[in-house]
Amino acid sequence: MVPMVDLKTEFNVIKKEVLDMLTEILESSHYILGPKVSELEKKISDYHNISAAIGVASGTDALHLSLDGLGISEGDEVITTPFTFFATAEAIIYTGATPVFVDVEPDTLNIDASLIEEKITAKTKAVLPVHIFGHPADMTMVQKIAKKHNLKVIEDCAQAFGAAINGKRVGSFGDAGCFSFYPSKNLGAYGDGGMIILNDPAVADTIRKLRNHGSKRAYRHETVGFNSRLDEIQAGILLVKFKRIDEYNTGRRQKAALYNKLLPGTVKCPKEKKGFYHVYHQYTIMTPERDEIQNRLKDNGISSVVYYPIPLHLQEALKFMDHKEGDFPVAEKAAKEVLSLPMHPWLEESTIKETAEIING
């Protein structure tokens, strides 16, 4: 079966460096919040031209701790997209706030910023755009609205490490940028991990405490926090991969360009808006014949996945929000038509050709 991501080939390329790194860390006996985490934080903050980066246990925790650190709490409302991974809404709910959904743009499937203002109430405290599949959300518009209404902006960059708008990387627009290093993400560890980037030193200080039991100095607890740290081993592995992230993203963009060229006009290929730098965490097509195409690919040994079959407002767990079918028609149509194809920097040209031919029927 042709896989969606080829972590095995990736490992074989970086094997020696990874194993040397693991040996160094294991021999150091320093496994939590050590020098590798600090080095990665420094490299990632520099890469984004941002003053602080804080390693945490997952992308979900990056969102949760950012919201918490920015003061989002019980009774607040946070505007976000219904077309994302469930964790985006979960993190909002952890703080006691309520997610308020806004439908998405038909082309990028990112939050439709032109619909945000009508959802703002006295309770709205923040906007949480997601750079879905690696294409940046319209941050110019989001920032403008947030500024006008005095809202915080938390960017969910879990699928978009290195994506940018006019050269400015995602995560550096809002009050906090949140990354996930889940293994299949475009920058992935060999386990769970996440990172928050931000400029405000006071908020950074709060979040650093939150990730470590509310404590800055051993056994002095200023607040009730969490156990949410990026561990040394994952940070070491990420240092090996981070060096190559621009190369990986370039590779993904080349594969995407070939798909765009070879896929038939009957399916809608992902769009890249002018001035936007898409990193194709997923290469996602849209077609009303989605299920037939997926079956055909499967019969020919090619993986494909539906991200996401159910928009958040129709999820069982969020029933209490009283949404119904028809509330967010663009997200609902996307859920019926999207199909993500194999995408990674080592994808063979012949595989892309074969996939396109099978989709062609």
Tokens of 205: 């200080």
Check residue 226 for interaction with ligand PLP (CB under 6 A).
no
- CB of 278 or CB of 359, closer to ligand PLP: 278
Check residue 110 for interaction with ligand PLP (CB under 6 A).
no
Show the binding pattern over residues 186-225: x = contacts ligand PLP (CB under 6 A), - = does not: ------x-x-------------------------------
Check residue 95 for interaction with ligand PLP (CB under 6 A).
no
The residues pairing with 55 across neighbouring beta strands, listed in sequence order, are: 195
Rounded CA-CA distance 36/314 in Å is 41
Closest approach, Cβ 317 to ligand PLP, in A, equals 15
- CB of 192 or CB of 337, closer to ligand PLP: 192
Strand order in the sheet with 98-101: 52-56, 194-198, 176-180, 152-156, 124-128, 77-80, 98-101
In terms of residues, how long is the chain? 361
C-alpha 253, offset from chain centre: 17
Q: Is the dihedral angle over the CA atoms 150, 223, 93, 37 positive or is it negative?
A: positive
Q: Which range in 20-28, 73-81, 152-160, 242-250 contacts ligand PLP by CB under 6 A?
A: 152-160
- Which residue in 4, 21, 60, 341 binds ligand PLP (CB under 6 A)? 60
- Which residue in 40, 47, 48, 58 binds ligand PLP (CB under 6 A)? 58
Closest approach, Cβ 190 to ligand PLP, in A, equals 13
DSSP-derived secondary structure letter, 171: T
Check residue 282 for interaction with ligand PLP (CB under 6 A).
no
Rounded CA-CA distance 135/122 in Å is 30
Site for ligand PLP in 339-358 (CB under 6 A): none
- CB of 128 or CB of 198, closer to ligand PLP: 128
Using CB positions, name the residue nearest to ligand PLP: 59
- CB of 138 or CB of 156, closer to ligand PLP: 156
Rounded CA-CA distance 283/291 in Å is 17
- Helical residues (DSSP H) of the chain, grouped into ranges: 7-28, 35-47, 59-69, 87-94, 139-149, 201-210, 232-242, 245-262, 290-299, 329-337, 349-360
Interface ranges with ligand PLP (CB under 6 A)? 58-60, 84-85, 87-88, 130, 156, 158-159, 180, 182, 192, 194
